[in-house]
Structure formats: structure tokens, C-alpha cells
């Protein structure tokens, strides 16, 4: 495909996106706010390029947006890492040595954790989830029975068992863009992860201090998801993610108007867009209409959608 043809396709797709967002369909006249079955998906506008929303009570998918396109998922990966760690049955109070990576990380993996020191498995898991600590996730995988390769194999086997047919994990951290999934597959994953009490607790911890030994030192961590700090939100599970290749990503389980929903948002513009999208989902459930998207986020969504449309046409 020539560059000029590709540019025309991008322009056309962007124009269609503007039309779709600028002229939302009317809500069902018989819709009742808060009644999930009556919600009109045409009235939910999100800034994220990919999205999936499911009812946790029955697993029914309420909304999908580009939800079957396979894309990098960044640190949303760590929810699968956590399930594999917990499924292994290895004791959470076991002290693990912080080891150096076999190979250089595919993206920046800077950490304040000192090589050679020790921390308990449960604390490593907590900071991997709440603070997206990449070295912690890597160390958990290295200390898995059978080592790193066995751990990654277990991640992919778990994904298969959950029906995640379009998912591949290349490692425990999400730093590799080769770790890819779809919003629909990730909806299955977070619904499964929400069944683990430890994952619910660890992903929603606001602040935590971890105490290492050999040598002794303390590091303080905060949650990477701003929603867990806001009293107005009842967050049951949360995980953020970011890579240049993935954009901003967010997976949450939250209660809205008496319904517990699993929300997956992938490839968003800036850190505020996924949070804004959760707010738009809330407004949609409560009123039947989500409201508007910030101009910068809308332009990003239209550009990324147009680029993907052109790529798929080549």
C-alpha cells in the first residue's frame, strides 16, 4: 500500500470516528437508569481505544469496543502473574532473594529494590500488584518451582484454561510488547482474578511499607491507580499498565449503582483518560448516557483507531 493511500485511509477512518462520536444514538425510551439489561451501548462514549465491560454477577458482557483486537497489555499482565503465584501454593511468608535478571529488560525496569536482599513472597506480590514493581514480579517468577520458563508456561496454561484464546504472555512483568491480549480476554482474566482474596486486597492497598533483610532497609510504596484513594469509589480490584506500545491501560472491578462491574480499558491517552472513562461508565449506568470525552483524548482515540484501520487494510 502506498503512503498516500494509507494516509487517505487514516483520514477517512478519523472522519468516521468523529461522526460516530459526535452523533450518539438516542437511549432506549424505555430504558431505566441502573437497569443493565436496558442500557444502550450507543450512548457510552469512551476515550480508550479498546474496552470491555462485564457484569460480575453473571459474566454477561455489557459493552465491547474493539474488544477482540490483540494488543500489548503492559502491566495488566501482573494479574495473571499473581494468580500463578497463588495457585502454586508456595508459602507467602517465605523469604526470597532478590536476583538479577537473566537478560536485559525489553523496557525500562528501574527499581529501588537492592539485588541480593530478601523479602517475603507475599510482600513481593503486594508491591508487584499495587505499585506495579517490575523487579518484584520478576523475582516471584524466578523463585517459582521450575524457574522462570515454567512460570511463563503456567501463565499461558492458566490463560488457556480461562478461555483466553487470543492471549500470549512473554513474561511476568508486562514489559515486553510481545505480551498481548484482547479487552475481551482480559475481562475473563480480571473476573477470575477477583475470586482471589489476596489479589483484591493487594491491588487495592493505598500505601504500604516493605521491610527487607540482608541488608535491612525499608521502602514505601503507593498504589498506581488514583481511584483507590477516592472514597466515592468502591474498588474491589485494580491494575494499571503503561508502555509506549500499549498506551495507558486500566483494569478495575468496581461497584456502580449496586452492580459489580469488571471494566477493561486499553490504549488510553494520558493517565486521566482511563479514570475519566470509569466515570463515564458510572454515568452511563446511572443515567443512560456517558457524556463527552476531553478533546485531546478524543483526538488520540481517533488517530489510534485510524492507524489500526489502515494497518489492518494493508
What's the pLDDT band for 57 if we cut at 50, 70, 90? very high
Q: Give the Cα separation of 164 and 278 in Å (integer).
A: 23
Instruction: Please name every residue paired with 261 in a beta bridge, in sequence order, or none if there are none.
Output: 55, 254
Cite the active site residues. Answer: 75, 78, 132
Residues 6+ apart with CB under 8 A from 79: 129, 189, 190, 193, 199, 203, 237, 239, 251
Q: Could you give the C-alpha distances from 164 to 157, 231, 249, 308, in angstroms and in order?
A: 10, 33, 18, 22
Q: Is the pLDDT of residue 24 over 60?
A: no
Cell numbers 510488547: residue: 177
Residue partners of 38: CB distance under 8 A and separation at least 6: 28, 30, 31, 32
pLDDT of 276 reads: 96
**Angle formed at CA 230 by CA 119 and CA 228, multiple of 5 degrees:** 30
Task: Reply yes or no on whether the pLDDT at 246 is more than 50.
Answer: yes
Which are the contacts of 288, defined by CB distance < 8 A and separation ≥ 6? 27, 28, 31, 33, 39, 40, 43
Measured at the CA of 121, the angle between CA 115 and CA 123, to 5 degrees, comes to 85
Cα separation, 211 vs 86, in Å, equals 21
Summarised one tens digit per residue, pLDDT across range 65-103 is 999 999 999 999 999 999 999 999 999 999 999 999 877
Cβ neighbours of residue 201 closer than 8 Å, sequence gap 6 or more: none
| 259-268/50-55 β-pairing | antiparallel
Q: Is the peptide bond before 98 cis (omega within 30 degrees of 0)?
A: no
Residue 287: all three cell numbers together: 443515567
Inform me whether the pLDDT recorded for 8 exceeds 70: no
pLDDT for 151 beyond 90:
yes
Whether 34 shows a pLDDT value over 60: the answer reads no
Share of the chain above pLDDT 70, in %: 89
Q: For position 314, what pLDDT does the model report?
A: 67
Indicate whether 32 pLDDT > 90. Answer: no
pLDDT at 15: 36
Lowest mean pLDDT among 21-35, 60-74, 255-269: 21-35
Instruction: Please provide the distance, in angstroms rounded to a whole number, between the alpha carbons at the two ends of the chain.
Output: 6
Say what the pTM is.
0.88
89 exposure class (CB count in 10 Å sphere: 0-12, 13-18, 19+): exposed
Residue range 43-57: mean pLDDT, rounded: 96
pLDDT at 29 over 80: no
pLDDT for residue 84: 98
Asked if residue 297 lies in contact with residue 269, where contact means CB atoms within 8 angstroms, the answer is yes
CA distance 40 to 42: 5
Count Cβ atoms within 10 A of the Cβ of residue 153 and give its class: 0-12 exposed, 13-18 middle, 19 or more buried. Answer: middle
pLDDT over 70 (residue 157): yes
Q: What's the average model confidence in pLDDT over 175-179? A: 97
Q: Is 16 helix (H, G, I), strand (E, B) or coil?
A: helix
Q: Is a pLDDT exceeding 50 seen at residue 10? A: no
Cell matching residue 256: 456502580
Phi, psi (deg, nearest 5) at residue 90:
-65, 140
Domains of the chain from N-terminus onward: 48-268 (3.40.710.10)
Query: Mean of the pLDDT values across residues 59-68?
Result: 96
Q: Using CA atoms, how far apart are residues 139 and 75, in angstroms rounded to an integer?
A: 15
For strands 71-72 and 180-181, give the pairing. Answer: antiparallel
Least confident of 11-15, 103-107, 227-231, 254-258: 11-15
Q: Which residues pair with 219 in a beta bridge?
A: 210
Contact 139, 98 (CB under 8 A): yes
Amino acid at each position: 500500500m502506498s503512503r498516500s493511500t494509507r494516509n487517505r485511509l487514516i483520514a477517512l477512518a478519523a472522519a468516521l470516528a468523529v461522526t460516530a462520536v459526535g452523533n450518539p444514538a438516542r437511549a432506549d425510551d424505555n430504558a431505566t437508569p441502573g437497569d443493565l439489561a436496558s442500557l444502550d451501548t450507543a450512548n457510552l462514549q469512551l476515550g480508550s481505544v479498546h474496552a470491555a465491560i462485564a457484569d460480575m454477577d453473571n459474566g454477561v458482557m455489557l459493552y465491547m469496543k474493539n474488544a477482540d483486537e490483540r494488543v500489548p497489555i503492559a502491566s495488566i499482565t501482573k494479574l495473571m502473574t499473581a494468580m500463578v503465584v497463588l495457585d502454586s501454593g508456595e508459602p507467602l511468608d517465605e523469604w526470597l532473594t532478590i536476583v538479577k535478571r537473566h537478560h536485559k529488560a525489553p523496557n525500562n525496569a528501574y527499581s529501588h529494590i537492592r539485588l541480593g536482599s530478601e523479602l517475603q513472597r507475599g510482600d513481593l506480590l503486594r508491591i508487584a500488584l499495587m505499585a506495579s514493581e517490575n523487579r518484584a514480579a520478576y523475582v516471584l517468577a524466578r523463585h517459582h518451582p521450575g524457574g522462570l520458563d515454567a512460570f511463563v508456561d503456567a501463565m499461558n496454561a492458566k490463560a488457556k484454561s480461562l478461555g483466553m484464546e487470543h492471549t500470549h504472555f512473554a513474561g511476568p512483568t508486562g514489559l515486553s510488547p510481545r505480551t498481548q491480549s484482547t479487552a475481551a480476554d482480559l475481562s475473563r482474566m480480571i473476573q477470575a482474578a477477583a475470586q482471589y482474596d489476596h489479589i483484591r486486597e493487594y491491588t487495592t492497598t493505598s500505601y504500604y511499607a516493605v521491610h527487607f533483610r540482608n541488608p535491612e532497609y525499608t521502602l514505601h510504596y503507593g498504589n498506581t491507580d488514583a481511584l483507590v484513594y477516592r472514597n466515592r469509589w468502591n474498588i474491589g480490584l485494580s491494575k494499571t499498565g503503561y508502555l509506549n506500545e500499549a498506551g495507558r491501560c486500566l483494569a478495575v472491578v468496581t461497584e456502580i449503582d449496586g452492580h459489580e462491574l469488571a471494566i477493561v480499558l486499553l490504549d488510553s491517552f494520558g493517565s486521566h483518560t482511563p479514570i475519566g472513562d470509569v466515570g463515564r461508565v458510572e454515568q452511563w449506568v446511572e443515567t443512560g448516557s456517558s457524556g463527552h470525552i476531553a478533546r485531546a483524548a478524543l483526538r488520540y482515540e481517533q488517530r489510534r483507531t485510524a492507524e489500526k484501520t489502515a494497518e489492518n487494510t494493508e
